[in-house]
């Protein structure tokens, strides 16, 4: 059995590629069901965020090529269009990757707290789709425990460490007077809520929220005492705004370059800063071509992100040590998970060889010998003593070379014992 992760993220693929391959919740459920139908003996989870799309599998006969082909078919995208952006890890490397992801050590903004919620949601969807099993269940719970330990034993999450936080920090760097800035927040989900909180922290006072669902927009606006407008007012709001930060969930652009042209014509010559952290993006990248309009995507936050990473260098090292320790613990379990059943198989095969030899001996005139019961007891004792010696040596191998090597040794012994039993059956047929 292999554990495999295939994916792409903010480090390997531009936002244009990530948004084409992104999955919403309904698509995630459908994709998992299709994978399970195609590979019924394997386990699957799918993690899709604004910064990454990753497929995790555990089972026989499922490799990176199979997962690549599946994404290509599901997304109706030619493999050649995204192959160069992919990465694939197996076994310990795959485990290390998930634990680092869940602990935000692989995030664009190291220390962000949103990623663990996203990992938990991906696992919840997989459980609901019944595509997890013994291996991925244990792996994801190990990821949750690792994340908790990293957050509680390091200061990695101190300061502004979320994508919304970095977006607002960038706005503050580019627009000196946040108190007088007219800020438009597009989208009232969790990202929108974090954006509003960070804006208020930095002194912004003229904040307007707009959301497709006016009720959800009200749930965000009222507790913070900020303005709420209807979705139909979006054009007028952009005409008046100094800063727009967008995180609305959409499949297509809210504004293309052509549709945004009428807004630029009605604006004064003031600068409009647009920070689009949505994936897929809310604003077509070509909008950045307009004079006095400055559009930043998630990928453009790299400078602030790098400052964040340098400030947390020591915490990152400490976090990665926690990850490494937990990878070793998981791989010990993963390597040993088959040892118990294989020892059972070995005992069964040794006992069968003993029965075969007794049957071979007690034939003809010896078939009803009075010593038969005594001989059976003696053979069983010999078999058990030999088993004790073998199991003792398997334990030594497990301690010195790891459970995976012990499992390989047991597999070799079981296979040879099966061959000996088969030889007896073959001799019996021939005679």
The long-range contacts involving 231-240, CB below 8 angstroms and separated by at least 24 positions, are: 234/186, 234/210, 235/262, 235/263, 237/184, 237/208, 237/210, 238/184, 238/263, 238/272, 239/263, 239/266, 239/267, 240/182
DSSP code per residue over 195-238: HHHHHHHTT--EEEEE-SSHHHHHHHHHHHT-EEE-GGGHHHHH
The residues assigned a catalytic role are 50
Q: Do residues 103 and 151 lie in contact, with contact meaning Cβ atoms separated by under 8 Å?
A: yes
Nearest to 120 by CA among 144, 96, 97: 144
Q: DSSP secondary-structure letter at 56?
A: E
Between CA 95 and CA 142 the distance in angstroms is 9
Q: Do residues 361 and 424 lie in contact, with contact meaning Cβ atoms separated by under 8 Å?
A: no
Q: DSSP secondary-structure letter at 297?
A: E
Three-class DSSP category at 291 = coil
């Amino acid at each position: 059995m292999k554990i495999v992760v295939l994916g792409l993220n903010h480090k390997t693929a531009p936002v244009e590629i990530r948004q084409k391959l992104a999955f919403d919740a309904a698509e995630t459920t459908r994709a998992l069901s299709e994978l399970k139908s195609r590979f019924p003996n394997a386990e699957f989870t799918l993690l899709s965020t604004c910064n990454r799309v990753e497929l995790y599998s555990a089972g026989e006969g499922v490799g990176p090529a199979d997962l690549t082909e599946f994404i290509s078919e599901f997304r109706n995208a030619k493999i050649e269009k995204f192959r160069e952006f992919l990465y694939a890890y197996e076994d310990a490397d795959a485990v290390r990757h998930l634990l680092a992801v869940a602990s935000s050590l692989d995030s664009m903004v190291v220390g962000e707290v949103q990623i663990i919620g996203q990992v938990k949601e991906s696992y919840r969807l997989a459980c609901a789709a019944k595509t997890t099993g013994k291996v991925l269940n244990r792996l994801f719970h190990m990821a949750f425990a690792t994340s908790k330990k990293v957050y509680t034993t390091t200061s990695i999450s101190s300061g502004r460490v979320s994508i919304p936080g970095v977006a607002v920090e960038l706005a503050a760097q580019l627009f000196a007077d946040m108190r007088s800035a007219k800020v438009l927040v597009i989208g009232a989900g969790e990202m929108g809520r974090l954006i509003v909180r960070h804006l208020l922290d930095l002194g912004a006072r003229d904040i307007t929220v707009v959301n497709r669902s006016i009720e959800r927009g009200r749930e965000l606006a009222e507790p913070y005492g900020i303005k709420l407008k209807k979705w139909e007012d979006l054009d007028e709001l952009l005409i008046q705004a100094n800063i727009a930060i967008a995180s609305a969930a959409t499949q297509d652009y809210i504004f293309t370059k052509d549709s945004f042209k009428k807004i630029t014509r009605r604006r004064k010559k003031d600068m409009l800063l647009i920070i689009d952290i949505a994936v897929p993006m809310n604003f077509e990248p070509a909008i950045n071509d307009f004079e006095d309009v400055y559009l930043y995507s998630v990928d453009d936050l790299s400078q602030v992100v790098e400052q964040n990473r340098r400030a947390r260098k020591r915490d990152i090292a400490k976090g990665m040590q926690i990850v490494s320790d937990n990878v070793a613990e998981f791989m010990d379990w993963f390597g040993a998970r088959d040892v118990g059943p294989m020892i059972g198989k070995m005992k069964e095969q040794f006992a069968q060889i003993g029965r075969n030899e007794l049957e071979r001996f007690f034939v003809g005139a010896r078939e009803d010998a009075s010593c038969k019961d005594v001989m059976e007891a003696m053979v069983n004792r010999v078999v058990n003593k030999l088993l004790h010696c073998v199991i003792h040596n398997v334990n030594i191998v497990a301690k010195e070379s790891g459970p995976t090597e012990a499992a390989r040794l047991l597999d070799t012994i079981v296979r040879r014992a099966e061959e000996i039993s088969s030889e007896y059956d073959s001799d019996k047929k021939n005679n």
